[in-house]
Amino acid sequence: MKMFVEPRDVFLHRDAVNFRKSIDGLVAIVEQELGRDAYTGALFVFCNKAKNKLKLLYWDKSGFALWYKRLEKQRFKWPSKVSEQEFVLTEQQLHWLLSGYDVLGHDEQHYQSMI
């Protein structure tokens, strides 16, 4: 997905959000639940309960922008095993999420020498 901005930070809100919420409701979640300043230019990602819709919210110096994406047949690979209320994404992970890939990837592997 080509965006009009390059956000300096990307935060994914872990819990499902009621998608009747628009900009003001999502800004309230950012500030009250995540404890973040919504006016920093960071990008905030929200998902609905069915995990087939995303909303992306960011401040672009003159107002808030809200993007909406709906999948027709698939579901987004939403990180549900994260214990924190928010999850920080890299730009690559955001592109993976929007493309339908798992942003957490595989479990970290630990190797030990046999010597």
Q: List, for residues 38-51, the tens digit of each pLDDT value.
A: 999 999 999 999 99
Contacts of 106 (CB under 8 A, 6+ apart): none
Query: How many other C-beta atoms can be found within 10 angstroms of the C-beta atom of residue 6?
Result: 8
Indicate the pairing of strand 53-59 with strand 64-70: antiparallel
pLDDT < 70 regions, the chain: 1-5, 80-84, 104-111
Residues in a beta bridge with 88: 11
DSSP label at residue 7 = -
Supply the pLDDT for residue 95: 84
DSSP label at residue 91 = H
Place of tokens 């960071």: 42
Supply the pLDDT for residue 108: 43
| Residue 63, φ and ψ in degrees, nearest 5 | 170, 175
pTM summary value: 0.82
